[in-house]
Structure 1
Amino acid sequence: MKDFLLFFVLIFIVLGCKNEPKKTSEVKTNEFAIVIHGGAGTILKKNMTPEKEQAYKTKLEEAIKVGYDILKNGGSSMDAVEKTIHVMENSPLFNAGKGAVFTNEETNELDASIMTGNDLNAGAVAGVKDVKNPISLARKIMENSPHVMLSGKGASVFAKEKGLEIVNPSYFYTENRFNSLQRVKEKMKAELDHDGKTAFYDAEIKDSKFGTVGCVALDKNGNITAGTSTGGITNKRWNRIGDSPIIGAGTYANNKTCGVSSTGWGEYFIRLNVAHDISALMEYKNLSLKDATKEVIQQKLTKIGGDGGVIAIDKNGNMVFEFNTAGMYRASMNDKGELGVKIYKE
């Protein structure tokens, strides 16, 4: 009888172990690594021309190689993240910097953040209209001020004092983004519902792709940096701010665990503190990066109706892309120089 009971106890233990999430690996996968995203959303191959698809892939490759070269030559993950994001901020393809979407007032309001995992230092900026590269302003705030986040006119004054490149707001105008705003405004002419919104407006936000850009890098010294930059969502009002400049929601880095950059419907990412939650699951539950990102994006975020995804690198150089949308503009490079550039869900 005792042997019979022991048999079932052993079976229970074995089955239970199979269902346990994978624990954090202590094996060094990559000495250094870098991942980037250019937004996640309803990105379908049937809606993409071959020319446009190639344009995105070319720009993603250009951007990530900038950061890779810095890391390969012994540079810091912070430099790699900043310079890589510059390439995407300077491109009209992405909803950040030059390609930022328009607000309801037909202006562009830019947000960005950066965080370093060795000291948990961070900088962020929200609602600036004349700084060419918001990610550089976020870094300046982190390194040259006692604050974490600055916004609006004050942030622009700080940027000028620190010698960052200031541009006329017209620099951010692109016809494609302006036309997108006009389409949304036409739909907004529908009768308002009792919440002061329209079903058309909600559908436009849900169905549009989120072009936020981000980068996470691990350097040869074992330091992780994460950065995110965005123009927000089309037709945003009242100086709306999403998750991108929120440390712990849109961006997080900790050398003990991982670095994360988010993209998607920001309000949901803020409510779940998505980027930090992934790190917390690794630290407190000892989950692997893959399992932690999957639990947050595919379970927690989906449960409350959130769309989007994350890119992440853990302290051992493991790289992850996790998203619950049709696609994500993304790329990765490891310490062997192996490049991967993808757009659609596989």
Structure 2
Amino acid sequence: MFKPALIIHGGAGSIHRSNLPPHLYAKYHTSLQTYLRDTHTLLNTGTPALDAAVHAVSAMEDDPLFNCGRGSVFTRSGTIEMEASIMVTSLHPDHQNPQFVKRGVGVMGLKKVRHPIQLARECLLRYESGACGFEGSMHSQLNGEFVEGFAEDWGVEVMDPEWFFTMKRWEEHLRGLCPSSSSSPSSSSSLNGFSNGSSGGFSLESEGGEYLSQGTVGCVCLDQWGNLAVATSTGGLTNKWPGRIGDTPTLGAGFWAETFDKPFSSDTSVDSDVECDGYVLVGEKVGTKRAVAVSGTGNGDSFLRTAAARTACAMLRFDGGVLSLGDAVAAVAGPGGELQRSAGGRWGSGEGEGGIIGIEVVGAGEGDGGWGRVVFDFNCGGMWRAWVEDDVERIMVFREPY
């Protein structure tokens, strides 16, 4: 009934042509193109949105180019603490099937799970199973060793710490500890010269001056049954304090999905089909369902302070039929938007920088089919994104083609 659509993001921030030479751009382009095509094929062959989104993010968690999974950044103590989240909604919910029920779960403080997004998925599905004990909990956020302890029992792969170590991230960690020193500290316990525990006090480029991905990764999918899923994963901020929880596992901050009834501006009954804002009013219907899902990437604390993901969706839900999701995302994450304004006088330090991707289901009356309108916006140098809409494949990092 619905034409599948998807969009992937691979981080946003201070990305410029000066730190993104052609050979490095080609690496990101190749990775994103591969994950986009694989995920699009799954959607077109009947894979549910939830499984397709998890597939895309799992692939990125294995790719050291991105700040998640194996490419995660280090905390100031030299440890890895990963976060991930999943949320689903549907235009035609089937309450007997957990993949069609609106629900969201975030997991955080993970140190050994190879694919944090798969652990988030298991938490979502096992909550819906209604099993006794933990598997019947209603928790939307789960932290650290407790939830990681279930991973192997649930068939989620765990790895030794060495799996997550990459030299580029380690060198970045050391430079962050001593931003003013020409020599690197001998171990992660050397905190001399450490400025603020964030990415704002030192270069986020490699020794060769090349861009190193800092942002969260994510995927939003619409499947052929009208189900939307958003999957998001990150290693957090470089040299964050251990125990820091960001926007990625926090509902409404770094991710959101919901379905709602969208009334038309007129309550006049009609006897024939009327088109309004791309939707069809059939017979006596006075409204139609709409579904949206979004995923954010960038300075997570700013997303938390502004409840960025839910704010964008709420603008659409309660606007009285004026805005599109693209308008709402631009108002939050675009240039001069709410994220940027939240930084105040600190704008330019990295605070407030980021972007949002999403899908809005268009043309979906009750019993009718529809399609997904892909949207995105960002307020910083660039945002890695790859999407398919109307069977057209696009991969970009800047506002203009590379």
Give the TM-score band, short-chain normalised. 0.7 to 0.9
Task: Determine helix, strand or coil for the equivalent of 1:117.
Answer: strand
Normalising by structure 1, report the TM-score.
0.86
Residue 15 of structure 2 is aligned to residue 43 of structure 1:
yes
Q: 1:229 aligns with which of 227, 233, 237?
A: 233
What residue number does 2:167 align with?
Answer: 175
- Runs (5+) with no aligned partner, structure 1: 1-27
Give the secondary-structure state (helix, strand or coil) at the position aligned to 1:345.
coil
Contact kept? 2:75, 2:242, Cα under 8 Å: no
- Mapped to 2, the partners of 1:266 and 1:302 lie a distance apart of 13
- Cα deviation, 1:77-100, whole Å, max 9, x if unaligned, reads 101100011111110000000100
1:293 aligns with 2:329: yes
The correspondence of residues 28-177 of structure 1 with structure 2, limited to 5 A, is 31-118=3-90, 119-145=101-127, 146=137, 147-177=139-169
- Cα distance in 1 for partners of 2:37, 2:245 equals 30
| Cα deviations by residue, 1:79-129 (Å, 9 ceiling, x for unpaired) | 110001111111000000010001111111110000001232112110110
Which residue does 1:189 correspond to in 2? 192
What is the match of residue 324 of structure 1? 379
Corresponding position of 2:221: 217
Give the secondary-structure state (helix, strand or coil) at the position aligned to 2:387: strand
CA distance in 2, matches of 1:277, 1:210: 24
Hey, what's the Cα distance between the residues in 1 that align with 2:159 and 2:293? 31
Question: In 1, distance between residues paired with 2:242 and 2:58?
Answer: 27
- Aligned equivalents of 2:160 and 2:333: distance in 1? 38
Q: Deviations over 1:121-162 (max 9, x none)?
A: 112110110000000000111111322221110121021221
- Contact kept? 1:42, 1:209, Cα under 8 Å: no
Structure 2 unaligned residues grouped into runs of 5+: 91-100, 128-136, 180-190, 206-211, 260-289, 344-351, 363-371
Match of 1:202 in 2: 200
CA–CA separation in structure 1 for the residues paired with 2:373 and 2:380: 22
| Counterpart amino acid of residue 387 in structure 2 | S
Residue pair 1:218, 1:313 contacting (<8 A) in 2 also: yes
Aligned-pair identity in percent equals: 37
Alpha-carbon offset, residue 272 of structure 1: 1.1
Q: Is the CA contact 1:257–1:282 (under 8 Å) kept in the aligned structure 2?
A: no
CA contact (8 A) 1:257 1:279 kept: no
Alignment match of 1:254 (pick from 254, 258, 279): 258
- Structure in which a larger fraction of residues adopt helix: 1
Secondary structure in 2 matching 1:318 = strand
Moved more, 325-334 or 44-53: 44-53
Query: Letter of the aligned partner of 2:297 in structure 1?
Result: T
Inter-partner Cα distance in structure 2 for 1:215 and 1:279 = 17
Q: Following the alignment from structure 1 to structure 2, what is the Cα–Cα distance between the partners of residues 75 and 163?
A: 20
The match for 2:266 is: none
Kindly state the Cα deviation for residue 205 of structure 1 after the two structures are TM-superposed.
Answer: 8.2
Tell me: CA distance 1:209–1:324, structure 2 relative to 1, closer, same or farther (3 Å).
farther
AA in 2 matched with 1:310? I
Aligned residues: 312
| Contact map agreement 1:257 1:283 (CA 8 A) in 2 | no
> Counterpart of 1:151 in structure 2: which amino acid?
N
Q: Could you tell me how far 1:206 is from its partner in structure 2?
A: 8.9
CA 191–334 in structure 1, closer or farther in 2 if over 3 Å, else same: closer
Alignment partner of 2:52: what SS? helix
**Runs of 4+ with deviation above 3 angstroms:** 188-192, 200-209
Contact (CA 8 Å) 1:45, 1:344: kept in 2 or not? no
Cα distance, 1:329 vs structure 2: 0.9
For 2:242 and 2:22, the matched residues in 1 are separated by 38
The question of whether the paired residues in 2 share the 8 Å contact of 1:123 and 1:140 is answered with no
* 1:304–1:230 CA distance, 2 compared to 1 (3 A): same
